[in-house]
């Protein structure tokens, strides 16, 4: 769960969840990360598909929540990266459409400052950019790894080849860490209450409540932590992960579509709560929570595959050598060429 509004939220949620900072709770985040790795295709590098990679990436699923509570400035700067407060029309503050996200956080923040009333990325959350930025990190990780693989056999000297072999081993460790940490935010976005203004009670006085949905300040934790603990396992989620669906759309467009799908499930969560399904672990509530966890795992898996594909088309180092040129043999990699020659 999120750290806001603190005064009321913590008093009620702590009785239900072990921590006030967990979207999906630790179990849900481990499940999403683990299921994503288990459903990677065989065309992906073996170091990403190993049992040890699965275990490490799954363990890192809750990591972005575990660092919360560090204090200022980290908490204030970092916490809004876990959520976005979308309205029912899938806009943020009525001025930014999830289907048309600005190109970066700076433009997103400027757009929000023009809302009525004015707001900003820290007030509304910047989860879409946390996902997109993390994806770009992984593209770079994999691009350097591809060059390392060539360099450890093709570099011009034994010393250079030894360097690339060592750099590859370090790059693998960095990549697993980056994927594990980033997967947390992909999972956050599959939890409907993490992408909505109705994140912990409908807030009828502010948004209207014609369906008399719950105003409970524990619904968030009861859905994402208590229900998950009761009904979810990684095996059950893996069984629901849809087939690989790779897209050529820009990453922010894909993130926007993903978030829009999550927003559409917000009323379902509240209907299930009203019917007693969340607390009673009804079949409908079980199905919804497993489907949302599976949606997170599928999106994470799809993005990792897309990052691998994109990594072939970038340049690394300074001023830059093409990964495709290195893999084709047109360029022989050197330590200097990848930015580590001085």
**So what's the pLDDT on residue 116?**
97
Secondary structure of the chain as H, E, C letters: CCCCCHHHHHHHHCCCCCCCCCCCHHHHHHHHHHHHHHCCCCCCCHHHHCHHHHHHHHHCCCHHHHCCCCCCCHHHHHHHHHCCCECCCCEECCCEEHHHCCCCHHHHHHHHHCCCCCCCHHHHCCHHHHHHHHHHHHHHHHHHHHHHHHHHHHCCCHHHHHHHHHHHHHHHHHHHHHHHHHHHHHHHCCCHHHCCCCECECCHHHHCCCCCCCCCCCHHHHHHHHHHHHHCCHHHHHCCCCCCCCCCCCHHHHHHHHHHHHHCCHHHHHHHHHCCHHHHCCHHHHHHHHHHHHHHHHHHHHHHHHHHHHHCCCEECCCCEEHHHHHHCCCCCCCHHHCCCC
**So what's the pLDDT on residue 14?**
35
**So what's the pLDDT on residue 2?**
54
**So what's the pLDDT on residue 20?**
38
pTM over 0.85: yes
Distance CA 302, CA 245 (A): 6
Burial zone of 313 (CB within 10 Å; 0-12 exposed, 13-18 middle, 19+ buried): exposed
**So what's the pLDDT on residue 319?**
87
pLDDT per position as a tens digit, 276-330: 999 999 999 999 999 999 999 999 999 999 999 999 999 999 889 999 999 999 9
Longest CA span, the chain:
72
Sites in the chain below the pLDDT cut of 50: 1, 3-21
Nearest to 190 by CA among 133, 138, 254, 263: 263
Nearest to 228 by CA among 1, 24, 15, 21: 24
Distance CA 30, CA 211 (A): 34
């Amino acid at each position: 769960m999120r750290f806001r509004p603190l005064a009321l939220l913590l008093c009620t949620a702590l009785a239900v969840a072990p921590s006030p900072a967990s979207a999906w709770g630790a179990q849900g985040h481990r499940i999403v990360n683990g299921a994503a790795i288990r459903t990677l295709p065989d065309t992906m590098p073996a170091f990403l598909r190993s049992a040890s990679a699965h275990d490490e990436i799954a363990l890192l699923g809750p990591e972005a929540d575990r660092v919360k509570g560090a204090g200022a400035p980290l908490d204030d700067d970092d916490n809004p990266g876990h959520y976005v407060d979308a309205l029912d029309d899938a806009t943020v503050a009525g001025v930014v459409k999830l289907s048309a996200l600005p190109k970066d956080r700076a433009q997103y923040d400027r757009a929000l400052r023009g809302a009525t009333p004015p707001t900003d990325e820290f007030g509304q959350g910047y989860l879409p950019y946390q996902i997109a930025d993390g994806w770009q990190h992984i593209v770079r990780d994999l691009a350097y790894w591809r060059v390392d693989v060539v360099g450890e056999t093709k570099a011009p000297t034994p010393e250079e080849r030894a360097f690339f072999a060592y750099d590859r081993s370090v790059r693998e460790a960095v990549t697993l860490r980056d994927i594990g940490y980033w997967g947390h935010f992909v999972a956050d976005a599959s939890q409907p209450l993490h992408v909505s203004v109705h994140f912990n009670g409908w807030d009828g006085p502010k948004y209207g409540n014609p369906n008399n949905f719950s105003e409970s300040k524990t619904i968030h934790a009861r859905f994402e932590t208590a229900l998950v603990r009761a009904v979810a396992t990684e095996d059950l989620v893996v069984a629901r992960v849809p087939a690989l669906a790779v897209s050529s759309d820009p990453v922010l467009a894909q993130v926007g579509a993903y978030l829009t799908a999550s927003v559409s499930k917000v009323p379902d969560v509240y209907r299930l709560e009203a019917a007693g399904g969340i607390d009673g672990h009804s079949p409908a509530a079980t199905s919804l929570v497993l489907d949302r966890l599976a949606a997170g795992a599928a999106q994470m898996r799809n993005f990792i595959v897309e990052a691998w594909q994109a990594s072939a088309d970038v340049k690394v180092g300074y001023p830059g050598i093409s990964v495709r040129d290195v893999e084709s043999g047109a360029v022989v990699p050197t330590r200097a060429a990848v930015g580590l020659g001085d």
